[in-house]
Amino acid sequence: MADETTQAPRQESSSSSGPRPAGRGGASNGPGGRKFFRRKKVCKFCVEKIDAIPYRDVRTLQQFVAERGKIVPRRLTGVCTRHQRRLTRAIKQARNIALLPFAARF
């Protein structure tokens, strides 16, 4: 009687079937099998001991603005949270007095 009961076959989850796709993470690069080592980003302002970020320093602020005019996030620049907030405020002030563009030219 136990053989007569039918159960739906289990579906394997996509993560457990087959080898993992090559991509990010701990994937080995090349025949040596070495893992990619990403260097920890350090805050430029903390290293140079800059506490106040002046909105008039356009050359510094432009490093943290993308081509399209967007403020680059801290995970890409490596700036700490405190300085990212001050940097954002300085960029917005510089935009309001026309030192930096709001958007890119097309």
Per-residue pLDDT of 52-92, as tens digits, reads 999 999 999 999 999 999 999 999 999 999 999 999 999 99
What's the pLDDT tens digit per position in 4-27? 556 665 555 555 555 656 555 555
Three-class DSSP category at 29: strand
Domain residue extents for the chain:
44-96
CA diameter of the chain: 84
Instruction: Give the pLDDT confidence score for residue 37 in this predicted structure.
Output: 74
Q: How far apart are CA 18 and CA 88, in angstroms?
A: 45
At the fourth CATH level, the homologous superfamily of domain 44-96 is: Ribosomal protein S18 (4.10.640.10)
How far apart (Å, rounded) are the C-alpha atoms in residues 28 and 6? 44
Q: What residue has token string 């943290």?
A: 64
Global pTM value = 0.64
Q: What pLDDT shows up at residue 58?
A: 95
